[in-house]
Amino acid sequence: MASSSPSSSSAVKRLSNLSNHLCPTNSNPLVKVSAQVSQALSTGLPVVALESTIISHGMPYPQNLETAKEVEAIVRDNGAVPATIAILDGEPCIGLNLEQLERLARMGKSAQKTARRDIAYVVATKRNGATTVSATMFFAAMVGIPLFVTGGIGGVHRHGEHTMDISSDLTELGRTPVAVVSAGVKSILDIPRTLEYLETQGVCVAAYKTNEFPAFFTETSGCKVPCRLDSPEECARLIDANRKLNLGNGVLIAVPIAKEYSASGSLIESAIQQALTEAREKNITGNAETPFLLARVNEITGGASLASNIALVKNNAAIGAKISVALAQLLK
């Protein structure tokens, strides 16, 4: 992992000494931003948004807490300020402290999986919500965070041409100007149709140091990308151009999982097919389907898919932080 610039790292370390109490930094009184994130945004330091569904629904406690802390540390080590986003007791929080991270991790699936459609309900009823890609993008854009790192985005589900089960992540990318760094689309989904839908939404899809769109657990999907980027600086220039042109949509930067963690494509596909069959037999649909499929694939592969999931999230965090640093330098 490459080290960040001395000036950026020292600035982030100074921020880490600040009290992490929540304070408003935008015009919306319902949303609270941590002191670290607030100061970073006001001084032009790089900030990386992080989702919280991966904490509550992605893996068990305490592995989820350790992973969340490690991902935030990787962002800091590469010169940026992490901003994990969640809704706690009806209050959208941009940037969580350790106590809040642990609380969310212990909640697990009792925290509501919160996409854009669910935000108003979770806030109005003062519930706890773990934000998905769409909700995290929404809040990041609201406070001015230009980049968001996740594991993999949602997409068009297999047989989506019959069920119309299409993740709101895709429409969010079509209307919210936040760049998303991910390992592509979860391979439990229909990747070709997902890419077609993103094209319809006008979303620029780029792959990092490859010409092929990655498939989350594996480096390749068989689908070519229209745009290849080979450095954090190239990624930053694309994001900057997209924002300055006021295109109004996001950018998807797909980073392939590292070779040493890439699972066997045939092994994963076999596990996915078994999990899909079980989901249909149990009539598991909607936002419950993806967590079920990922959990079953992990069980079938003996934990190999979860290890790959954690590895790719960490890799995305390192690359996303470097892109954020390059973007901050470009804007200065």
For residue 210, tell me if it sits in a domain: yes
Cis bond before residue 62 (omega within 30° of 0):
yes
Q: What is the pLDDT of residue 6?
A: 52
Same domain? 103 vs 175? no
- Tell if the pTM clears 0.85, that is, is over it: yes
Regarding whether 234 and 326 lie in a shared domain, the answer is yes
| Domain with 84 in it | 27-145
Contact between 22 and 34 under an 8 Å Cβ cutoff? The reply is yes
DSSP state of 257: P
Three-class DSSP category at 157: strand
DSSP 312: H
DSSP string covering 71-101: HHHHHHHTT-EEEEEEEETTEEEES--HHHH
Query: Which positions are catalytic?
Result: 51, 186
- Condensed to tens digits (0 to 9), the pLDDT of residues 218-276 reads 888 899 999 999 999 999 999 999 999 999 999 999 999 988 887 666 677 788 889 98
- The span from the CA of 303 to the CA of 198, in Å, is 31
**Average pLDDT score over residue span 178-183:** 97
Q: How far is CA 61 from the centre of its chain?
A: 20
Q: Domain boundary at 145, 164, 190, which?
A: 145
* Residue 88, domain member (yes or no): yes
Report pLDDT digits (tens) over 260-286.
887 666 677 788 889 989 998 999 888
Which CATH number characterizes residue 123's domain? 3.40.1790.10
Is 159 inside a domain boundary? yes
121 and 154, same domain (yes or no): no
Peptide linkage before 92 cis (omega within 30 of 0): no
Same domain assignment for residues 168 and 245: yes
pLDDT(14) > 80: no
